[in-house]
Chain A
Amino acid sequence: MIDSKAISEALKRIASHTAAASEELCAADGALGDGDLGITVSKGFAEAATAELPDDVGMALLEVAKAFQRVSSSSYGTLLATGFMAAAKLEKGKPGIEPEEMPGLVAAARDAMMARGKGNLGDKTVLDSLDAVASALEGTSPHVMVETTINAAGETLKRYRDLPNKLGRARMFGEKSRGLVDPGQLAFLRIVEGLRYEPHES
């Protein structure tokens, strides 16, 4: 069972890992957009990592969503907040997340984010990463879940690299976006890598 404390610790690891990846993400977004993605992601997780999380995991996830809202008005921040909020609604009133709920939560996040951003699967966005993760996690045993997630996120990145972006700012680059990784998919990979990241200072 993943309780609020576990969520809080995961957030701290992700904050640390995405802070290190911030420049890389800004550069990727710079090539296909406005170059703010590293800031959005690292600031958002930094804010979430310092939030006081209540024991109710639903309300804890809501706090995470609010942290993203607070620090960023760029698309990715709003989308991640949307995803966390979708999960929050499903977990409201519970003391922890059961591992077998994970695929469903990721799928719920994906759907909410699709609704929010009016995007489709295959548009070469973070939505594709979430979709891949939701499928990969289906029926997975708890101890390989993190690696499965990282693999799925990494595979998505590779699979879409040579396809054109069809949503958001990157869409305007059209055919020129072939060969460039989608910044949001890359960011997602760095985020989930943070789940296994072991900070040196601990």
Chain B
Amino acid sequence: MPSDMLRNLELDLDVFSGPFDLLLSLILREELDLLEVQLAEIVIAYLDHLERRERLNLEAATEFLVLIAALLELKSRLMLPGEEVEELDELEPAQAAEELLDRMLRYARYQNAGQWLIERQEAGQQFLLRESGPPAELSKTAEKPRATHDPQLLARAVGGLLKMPPAPDLRHLRNPRVSVADRLTILRDLLRRGRFDFERAVAGQDRMTVAVTLYALLELYKRGEADWEQEVPFAPITVAVGGNAAARAVAS
């Protein structure tokens, strides 16, 4: 469970407003769709919060990193359904770009149409409809019950619900091949040889592997097995053995 500080982190997002731990539990209970949550907004809210508090609580910060990274991983898995990544990966770069371009153009069309609707709605609000019903003395006779519907409508409707949908085709699905455990092993192997550049751990790998490796690294940091540094944003990330590594060696 998150510490008090995280629990009380108040968020005001597009799709949710309230404390962070409520957001978490809503997502875990699948009552809120993670795909609709802008994780960047949460990070910004957290940074604002840190700024106001001045003092950095390292434990809470690590905890936040782990939680937000877990959410990121979950979201990236949701956003990159296996089949589509496969599809794009198998295409030549030029073909993949064409395919992506097609999708973006199709989306741009409806994005623009949506903008038009927003303006149209604005203009449509100038005209108001009368909302009051007719005077009572005229509507007394309203809606006599009479046979207006065909009973077969009910049989058709309920019969339609009995229809079993065709079983979904699962042949194209494969289990995700990247596991946190595997990436942990690779990172620990590298660590045994000393400091290394994060790029080495993920050289030539796809985005999913990079994301899972970063998550594994967070896990190591949390356990005190690894430390990492980055001089400036986008600079190489250097990973080194952490303060707690000795303890781990004893335990194992």
Real binding pair: no
